[in-house]
Every structure is written in C-alpha cells, then in structure tokens.
Amino acid sequence: MHRDELTRWVGDTDAFLDGHWRTAPAVFRPGTGTGSGTGTAARPAAPLSLEEIDAAVAGGLLRVPHLELARAGDPVHSSRYTRSRTVAGVTTPGYADPHRVRELLAEGATLVLRNVEHWHPATRALTRRMEAELGRRVEAFFFVTPPGAQGLDLHRDDADVLLLQGTGSKHWTVRGGPAGPDWSPGEVADAGPALLSDTLRPGEVLYIPRGFAHEAVGGEGLSSHLSLTIREAGTQQLFASLQRLLLDGLPLPARPLDDDALHAAAELLLERFRTRLPELTAEALLDHARRAQLAEGAVPGLGADPGIAALAARLDAPRDPAANAA
C-alpha cells in the first residue's frame, strides 16, 4: 500500500518499518540522508503554527485537559493558569487564562496541548491520513518549551511516537524499552544507558518506539514540536473484540426468570462459542480490535458533511416551482 504521509516523515518506509518500528529510536533529517535515520526528499507538513496556538489560547475557550502546563519536578496546578467562565448563569472552571499561560511559559513551564485533532481540522486531517496508512489510532499533541526547560521527567509512553520539530531546538535522550509485558506508562527512575542522544531542529523528525523511556530539554529559541502518538490495541481491546465477534446478534434474554431459563441461556452461550470459536483467527481478532480502537477515537462531526454552512446553503437555494406545485 502507498504510505505517502509516513514517507514525508521518515523517508524510506520499508527501511523504517523493518529497521526501527518497535525496536530502535531514530532521527530523520529531510533531504540530507544524515543522522540515525534515513533522509527523505520532502519535509513533513506542520499543520499547526505558533500563531494559531496564540489565537486559540487568546480566544479563551481552550480548557483543561486539552491544555496543560508542565514542569519536570515541579508540577503546575491548573489553578495557576486557568479561570472560570460564567455563561447563562452557569460557572464552569478550567478555561485557559492567556496572561497566566504566557507568564508561566516565560518562567520555564512547558505548554502541552492534548488531542489537538479534537479541535484543529488540519491536524485532524493529518492524523486521519496516518491512521489510514498505519491501521492504528493516531492522536496529536503539541509542546512549547522555553530554552533550558524540561516539561516531563524520564518517562515511558504507551504508544509509538513520531514527533516533528517546528521551531527552536530540543535535545532528546531515549533509553531502553520495558523488560517484559507487565509494564506501565509514566515516570521511571532508571532505564539503562542512552540509545539515542540528539538535538532536533526545525523540520527534523524523531521516532520513539512504544515504551522506550525518554526525556527532552529545550535548546535554542522557543522550542515547539508536534507529537503523533500511534496507539496499539492491548489485551483489554482484544477481550472486548472477542466478546463482540462471538456474541453479536445472539438473542440472550436480559433477566431470565427461573433456573430453567438461566440454564437455557448458558447453553445458548456455549453453543455459540462452540460454533464460532473454531472459525476465529488471531489475525481477525487483532484486526477487529484495532478497527474498534480507531472508531473509539473518531471525532464526531469534525469535517462531516453537510455541516452547518452546507445546511444553510441548501436552505437558501432557490426552490423548484415544479416541486412546490406537486
């Protein structure tokens, strides 16, 4: 299949998937063929600019948890950068206060915009393209970090991460992944020696495999970068998909009234399992779990047709006299 968007980020997609995916971090420097990754002919597009972020924050409608300020070793409580707004007599907390946000940025905090695809159409279009190419749910996060600042301590993410440096520079250190399957995302005290230590500049891309510990410090200028987190289905999603694949359409009574009815329901369940389970493959189960995860992450209404403007145009269109006569 064609992976045009992924190619813009990592260059040779076959080399990326064979040599780095889930196994090794890499830096991709477009057009140079240098660094720990393979060069690519064209830079990936940055769908969100600092000017758009300014406008979004200044508009005052961004709220926690879509907006957050973080500082390694010194968490920033939301009360320090948000305020309440009263609409139609209802007071709701958690709205961004533009003045406080800028003050904390100037003091060394990192601005984190979570799930940008929820409210920014161009970013949503990018995540959809990546989802179509990778077959996995993709979410977008945007980070703005002052020089010398660190937003998060050494931590692991429960996702593969592709990040694009937008402005300024940032120094990244990536260490090893989990030792076994029973691990949790979040801060870690130690993750072994550095596998990658490099500074990203505008237009450069870093790939961090799922679970590999990492941390970063702002370099020259105001650093901004877009992170695409590529989610993978887990055992909970597999279990939920197994239930759906085996039980969808089964007419089970909601509340059997006596022992005989309850026994009949149990027999019905067992018969369905005996019939469908031998036909089910691990590949089909995993595919269903991934598609279900994609559906769960869909943003209702964003970019949908007809939309309000299209509806207005349809209502304003001249009516057919013949239709009225009928």
Tens digits of residue pLDDT in 275-315:
889 989 999 999 999 998 888 877 765 555 567 777 788 88
Give, as one character, the DSSP assignment of residue 188: -
pLDDT tier, 38 (very low <50, low <70, confident <90, very high otherwise): very low
What's the average model confidence in pLDDT over 113-134? Answer: 94
DSSP codes joined into one string, 101-121: HHHHHHTTPEEEE--GGGT-H
Q: What is the pLDDT of residue 73?
A: 79
CA-only gyration radius of the chain, Å: 24
The one-letter code for the residue type at 158 is: D
Q: How confident is the model at residue 54 (pLDDT cuts 50, 70, 90)?
A: very high
Alpha-carbon 291 to chain mean position:
15
Burial 14-28 (b: 16+ CB within 10 A, else e): eebeeebbeebbbbb
Give pLDDT, residue 40: 43
Q: For residue range 230-273, what is the model confidence (pLDDT) as tens digits?
A: 998 888 999 999 989 888 888 888 888 899 999 999 998 899 89
d(CA 159, CA 105): 27
The chain-wide mean pLDDT, for the chain, equals 89
By residue count, the chain amounts to 326
The closest alpha carbon to 9, from 173, 225, 169, 212, belongs to 225
User: Predicted confidence band at 39 (pLDDT cuts at 50, 70, 90)?
Assistant: very low
Tell me if 124 sits within 8 A of 85, measured CB to CB: no
Question: Is the separation of the CB atoms in 249 and 200 below 8 Å?
Answer: no
The residues facing 171 across adjacent strands are 199, 217
Q: What is the DSSP letter of 141?
A: E
- The beta-strand segments (E) located in the chain are 26-28, 67-70, 82-87, 90-96, 110-113, 138-145, 155-156, 160-167, 170-174, 186-187, 196-200, 205-208, 214-218, 223-230
Q: What pLDDT score was predicted for residue 35?
A: 46
Q: State the Cα–Cα distance between residues 222 and 149, nearest whole angstrom.
A: 10
Return the amino acid letter for 22.
Answer: R
- Residue 202 has φ and ψ, to the nearest 5°, of -50, 135
- Beta bridge mates, 224: 144, 167
Task: Write out the H or E segment, with its range, that includes residue 15.
Answer: helix 13-19
Q: Which two tokens stand for residue 206?
A: 């870093």
Q: Could you give the 3-state DSSP secondary structure of residue 122? A: helix
Q: Which amino acid is located at 232 in the chain?
A: E
pLDDT at 120: 94
Higher pLDDT, 302 or 37: 302
Position with higher pLDDT, 111 vs 31: 111
Quote the tokens at residue 311: 């509806």
